[in-house]
A and B are shown apart, each in its own frame.
Chain A
């Protein structure tokens, strides 16, 4: 009888990735927050973001003793690597442009403050304003809005300056400027939003942007970006866990058309902060403070990547791509708690642990609806929930998602958890990712696909390929950007198929959005069996194919015979088991961990080699339907019958087929 790969996979991974939680009393970085405290690198050392460069752009800057800021204008626990004003490389005048807000946002990312209490009055509540990535190198610059204009030019100059600091990985934007027209033109076509998307691609930097708030009818940009991530804020639910969309978010004004803005939610209400003058303060709230939780998490992941790159295991370019970070962070987001207590509508009882891929909280929106009640779950044309995005940031799961590494398409089978930075060659080109093990019927599969829109200069003065005063970006010629007919976005889609499928006709599930640059499939596997997914390029508005990042996470049937080198569980020890061992080398994947030491390593290769050619004692996995078998096809027919394809074209709002 097939069972879920629950306790083995996730508990083992957890043991490897988490140290004793020395910072567990600090709520937003602890288990009730984003669960970033205590993460370990590949060698078992704490992840702090050390050696990773992150950025901050906003109207002010944090204080810095190195430029002469006095104690009243800085925080001794939050030391930026360098601070600037606009795009001026030299030191700013002491104390100039320092703001409480910038200091506090910086603190969420890098503060080392572990002391409790606020003053005045003294509130001792077990919370200290400790940052997510206390070892990261933060470069911050304040843009200056001067004159009678919205200041887009000044902001873009500042963004470019910070994004081009050497080895910059992610830039935090806890701010927004008014859109040029009102109401509701959050179409990505403002010069500011175009500039952010241009920078993401030009500088390979992940821009993290504070998202929708209200209740006022403000329409701040660049929350309508395509190539970065826009973050909403979460609030503690009644159980004390940050898992509900805060009432402080407002979704009345969102991205134009069917696209939604929010990628993730992160803690943003009543966060304790480290401000100027070493004062602690509990904020009322803001996506300002949710967003740096994500930026700090990128620093943790990139420290992990740096180590894997240095030891020769990972590709130095692809592991650092901003699309990879985006796909990893979103695919690992929490949606439904995986502790055996959640009952899926229509099921007789709670889903067993493992069904929800080790997720650690049930996220709910402002109306108390969960992700399975979202149209993003039921409609393949809507990848993300309007309020929850892909779910709640979970740094521990993000590391679990990232740590197995990169696996190419169209080659060996891929493990159950992984990512790839790939390329499609043009329209109808597809890349195949066959899973190395059967997936468990009733469990969920999560796949996230991210790619860039292409923003080019409309006016580009020397020095070229840099933003200079007078330069402008080419807006999309489409009134509402839709990949199918615009001039900036190639459209990619995700398709789940039976393993060995020859064409998309046997598709089981898809994320098939006609807008934006992201697909997200969260799908319940209908029957235990062998599967693969394809990344398909639907159109080719931009020549030369399309780079993309994809991250995936699935649950597999537990392997009864890893101790005998039968890593596929098919009852014999052969070359297929070597491929699984190779694909999972360095991970905690239990099915390929022959000696059960928590990591797939050289010793597991030895076990495989010693048993090569043998029949595994105890037999293989329970019979797994192959594509084409009666049971499998029957199940798929039912699935397909309920998931009609009805691609929306701009010139035909009606559904097709």
Chain B
């Protein structure tokens, strides 16, 4: 009998969940789901592997190194937005993470925008399971996935938001509860203080005709 590991089983569950949310709910036309398979990410099941981006580069690796460990005794920094999608977004994110360029929070209405989500290194996986936009609110849902292996992981994602109409946007970073199957085998949920040190905080940006 083929036996699935905890991680394998959880990955399948998350992929299935994201597929179920791949279309906007019919009863709420204002809510748009951004499918996980449109998101370039590192270490997040169901997304596109950022190391498959063309052209090949060390940018993603250098971003991993820069994300590093959670800050001591304070919350993680805010997520942020960059101009562009795909490789362009990767390059812009690299400029912020590695080259420490100022985060940009204003964009012109005709530019592609990506939201950058990240999690510092920790002993629990951090997986996205849903990203949706409802008007000027964007919600990034994530979960901590406990595991028994003693590796620690960093995570980041470039979430394509497309071209957005003028407005002030708020990006919420929302933690979903740990799945019951993990509690059943002894794992305990992280407390919120710990979670805030690991995962990027909410952020906002604006889109206008002039842009920056």
A248 proximity list for chain B (CB < 8 A): 69, 121, 152
B29 at the interface (CB under 8 A from A): no
Nearest-CB distance from A383 to chain B (Å)?
Answer: 24
Select which of B5, B58, B188 is within 8 A of A123 by beta carbon. Answer: B58
Convert A167-181 into 0s and 1s, putting 1 for each residue whose CB lies closer than 8 angstroms to a CB of B.
000000011111010
The 18 listed contacts between A and B (C-beta, < 8 Å) are A59-B149, A60-B5, A97-B5, A99-B7, A101-B149, A121-B56, A121-B61, A123-B58, A145-B185, A177-B148, A213-B150, A215-B70, A217-B188, A220-B148, A220-B150, A248-B121, A284-B64, A286-B150
A180 proximity list for chain B (CB < 8 A): 186
Report the separation of the CA atoms of residues A220 and B146 in the bound assembly, to the nearest whole angstrom: 11
Select which of B151, B187, B188, B197 is within 8 A of A288 by beta carbon. Answer: B151
Report the separation of the CA atoms of residues A217 and B187 in the bound assembly, to the nearest whole angstrom: 11
Report the separation of the CA atoms of residues A176 and B185 in the bound assembly, to the nearest whole angstrom: 12
Cβ–Cβ contact B151 & A284, under 8 A: yes
Report the separation of the CA atoms of residues A285 and B68 in the bound assembly, to the nearest whole angstrom: 10
List A residues at the B interface (Cβ < 8 Å). Answer: 58-60, 85, 93, 95-97, 99, 101, 120-123, 142, 144-145, 148-151, 174-178, 180, 182, 210-211, 213-218, 220, 247-248, 270, 282-289, 291
Report the separation of the CA atoms of residues A422 and B10 in the bound assembly, to the nearest whole angstrom: 50
Tell me the B137-160 residues at the A interface (CB within 8 Å). 146-154
Report the separation of the CA atoms of residues A213 and B2 in the bound assembly, to the nearest whole angstrom: 31
B52 at the interface (CB under 8 A from A): yes
Select which of A122, A149, A151, A210 is within 8 A of B150 by beta carbon. Answer: A210
B102 at the interface (CB under 8 A from A): no
Cβ–Cβ contact B150 & A121, under 8 A: no
Report the separation of the CA atoms of residues A334 and B98 in the bound assembly, to the nearest whole angstrom: 33
Nearest-CB distance from B196 to chain A (Å)?
Answer: 11
B124 at the interface (CB under 8 A from A): yes
Q: Whose C-beta in chain A lies nearest to the C-beta of B191? A: A217
Cβ–Cβ contact B3 & A97, under 8 A: yes
Report the separation of the CA atoms of residues A149 and B1 in the bound assembly, to the nearest whole angstrom: 21
B51 at the interface (CB under 8 A from A): yes
Cβ–Cβ contact B190 & A286, under 8 A: no
Nearest-CB distance from B207 to chain A (Å)?
Answer: 32
Cβ–Cβ contact A120 & B52, under 8 A: yes
B210 at the interface (CB under 8 A from A): no
Report the separation of the CA atoms of residues A3 and B115 in the bound assembly, to the nearest whole angstrom: 65
Cβ–Cβ contact A151 & B185, under 8 A: yes
Cβ–Cβ contact B187 & A178, under 8 A: yes
Report the separation of the CA atoms of residues A149 and B6 in the bound assembly, to the nearest whole angstrom: 14
Instruction: Give 11 A-B pairs besides A285-B151, A288-B151 with Cβ atoms closer than 8 angstroms.
Output: A99-B8, A120-B56, A123-B58, A149-B186, A180-B186, A182-B188, A215-B70, A216-B124, A218-B146, A220-B148, A284-B154
Cβ–Cβ contact A217 & B190, under 8 A: yes
Convert B104-127 into 0s and 1s, putting 1 for each residue whose CB lies closer than 8 angstroms to a CB of A.
000000000000000001111000
Report the separation of the CA atoms of residues A218 and B184 in the bound assembly, to the nearest whole angstrom: 15
Cβ–Cβ contact A144 & B3, under 8 A: yes
Q: A99-B5, A120-B56 are in contact. Are A283 and B194 (CB under 8 A)?
A: no
B16 at the interface (CB under 8 A from A): no
B173 at the interface (CB under 8 A from A): no
Q: A121-B60, A248-B152, A284-B154 are in contact. Are A93 and B5 (CB under 8 A)?
A: no
Convert B45-85 into 0s and 1s, putting 1 for each residue whose CB lies closer than 8 angstroms to a CB of A.
00000011000111011001100111000000000000000
Select which of B60, B151, B190 is within 8 A of A216 by beta carbon. Answer: B190
A93 proximity list for chain B (CB < 8 A): 1-2
Cβ–Cβ contact A286 & B122, under 8 A: no
Nearest-CB distance from A358 to chain B (Å)?
Answer: 31
A288 proximity list for chain B (CB < 8 A): 149-151
List B residues at the A interface (Cβ < 8 Å). Answer: 1-3, 5-8, 51-52, 56-58, 60-61, 64-65, 68-70, 121-124, 146-154, 184-188, 190-191, 194, 197-198
A121 proximity list for chain B (CB < 8 A): 51, 56-58, 60-61
Greatest chain B CB density within 10 A among A121, A211, A287, A291 is at A121
B153 proximity list for chain A (CB < 8 A): 284
Nearest-CB distance from A119 to chain B (Å)?
Answer: 8
Greatest chain B CB density within 10 A among A59, A178, A215 is at A215
Cβ–Cβ contact B2 & A178, under 8 A: no
Cβ–Cβ contact A150 & B186, under 8 A: yes
Select which of A85, A175, A213 is within 8 A of B152 by beta carbon. Answer: A213
Select which of A122, A182, A215, A282 is within 8 A of B197 by beta carbon. Answer: A215
Cβ–Cβ contact B150 & A148, under 8 A: no
Cβ–Cβ contact B121 & A284, under 8 A: yes
A151 proximity list for chain B (CB < 8 A): 185-186
Nearest-CB distance from A454 to chain B (Å)?
Answer: 27
Select which of A59, A174, A247 is within 8 A of B6 by beta carbon. Answer: A59
Q: Which 9 residue pairs across A and B have the least CB separation, nearest first? A: A286-B151, A210-B150, A121-B56, A150-B186, A178-B186, A288-B150, A247-B69, A288-B151, A148-B184
B148 proximity list for chain A (CB < 8 A): 58-59, 145, 175-177, 220
B68 proximity list for chain A (CB < 8 A): 247
Select which of A142, A148, A215 is within 8 A of B194 by beta carbon. Answer: A215
Report the separation of the CA atoms of residues A214 and B69 in the bound assembly, to the nearest whole angstrom: 10
Report the separation of the CA atoms of residues A149 and B183 in the bound assembly, to the nearest whole angstrom: 9
Select which of B1, B122, B151, B186 is within 8 A of A214 by beta carbon. Answer: B122
Q: Whose C-beta in chain B lies nearest to the C-beta of A151? A: B185
Cβ–Cβ contact B150 & A174, under 8 A: yes
Report the separation of the CA atoms of residues A122 and B59 in the bound assembly, to the nearest whole angstrom: 11
B7 proximity list for chain A (CB < 8 A): 99
Report the separation of the CA atoms of residues A121 and B52 in the bound assembly, to the nearest whole angstrom: 8
Cβ–Cβ contact B6 & A145, under 8 A: yes
Nearest-CB distance from B71 to chain A (Å)?
Answer: 10
Cβ–Cβ contact A216 & B122, under 8 A: yes
Report the separation of the CA atoms of residues A123 and B194 in the bound assembly, to the nearest whole angstrom: 33
Cβ–Cβ contact B122 & A215, under 8 A: yes
Cβ–Cβ contact B65 & A270, under 8 A: yes
Q: Whose C-beta in chain B lies nearest to the C-beta of A287? A: B150
Cβ–Cβ contact A213 & B123, under 8 A: yes
B185 proximity list for chain A (CB < 8 A): 145, 148-151
B70 proximity list for chain A (CB < 8 A): 215
Q: Whose C-beta in chain A lies nearest to the C-beta of B73? A: A215
Report the separation of the CA atoms of residues A526 and B149 in the bound assembly, to the nearest whole angstrom: 46
B146 proximity list for chain A (CB < 8 A): 218
A214 proximity list for chain B (CB < 8 A): 122-123
A99 proximity list for chain B (CB < 8 A): 5, 7-8, 149
Cβ–Cβ contact A174 & B149, under 8 A: yes
Select which of A60, A216, A289 is within 8 A of B123 by beta carbon. Answer: A216
Q: Whose C-beta in chain A lies nearest to the C-beta of B193? A: A217
